[in-house]
């Protein structure tokens, strides 16, 4: 039995394709494994941006932290514990101005924690969260997987880098793209992603 963590981040609510397909993957995996599912909706329940209370609180002895530092570290610890408890992580990200939303960026800012989720060894940085499977659903209105706009994909490349930095290197990327080129293009793009998700779930069964 596996535990699945679903993290969604799009501000588009029910219209979000990244949330739709990430949820479909997470619920499909849960049904097949008989496991458990934790959902963190960063748009509905946004995290605070990190402040000096978080930056300094992480390196301050617990009994010497100010109340603000205690709360900032508590939030980060809760997120890290949630991530550590998961065997499978499903992330939904919708492109905002060529990159991930600020909501998802805030989540990464909290969980990328020296000596907790990554460390430094003789050969440089080393991720400490290993042995997990990650499914990353990246949605964009344009086409960024190839062609003229590929160099401007600061969403999926950035997220893959951050995941790898903390040890999450077994990542399957699912794209939803090309939905702004008219109704027919959007319908085809959604159908292609639906097929990719069903293939992914069949393989995971």
Which CA distances in Å does 4 have to 37, 85, 117, 124, 184? 5, 9, 18, 30, 34
Which CA distances in Å does 176 have to 42, 89, 159? 20, 18, 15
Packing angle of the helix pair 102-111, 67-85 (nearest 10 deg): 90
Packing angle of the helix pair 17-33, 183-204 (nearest 10 deg): 20
- How many whole angstroms separate alpha carbon 190 and alpha carbon 200? 15
Neighbours of 188 (CB within 10 A): 14
**Which residues belong to the annotated binding site?**
10, 16-18
**Which residues belong to the annotated binding site for FMN?**
10, 16-18
């Amino acid at each position: 039995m596996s535990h699945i963590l679903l993290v969604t981040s799009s501000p588009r609510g029910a219209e979000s394709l990244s949330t739709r397909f990430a949820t479909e993957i997470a619920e499909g995996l849960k049904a097949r494994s008989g496991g458990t599912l934790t959902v963190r909706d960063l748009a509905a329940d946004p995290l605070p941006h990190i402040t000096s209370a978080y930056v300094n609180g992480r390196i301050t002895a617990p009994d010497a932290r100010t109340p603000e530092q205690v709360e900032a570290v508590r939030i980060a610890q809760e997120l890290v514990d949630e991530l550590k408890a998961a065997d499978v992580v499903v992330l939904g990200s919708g492109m905002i101005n060529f990159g991930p939303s600020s909501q998802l960026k805030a989540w990464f800012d909290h969980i990328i924690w020296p000596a907790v989720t990554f460390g430094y060894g003789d050969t440089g940085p080393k991720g400490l969260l290993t042995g997990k499977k990650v499914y990353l659903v990246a949605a964009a209105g344009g086409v960024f997987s190839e062609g003229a706009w590929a160099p401007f994909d600061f969403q999926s490349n950035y997220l893959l880098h951050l995941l790898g930095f903390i040890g999450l290197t077994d990542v399957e990327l699912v794209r939803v793209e090309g939905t702004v080129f008219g109704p027919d293009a959007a319908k085809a793009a959604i159908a292609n992603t639906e097929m990719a998700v069903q293939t992914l779930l069949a393989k995971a069964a």
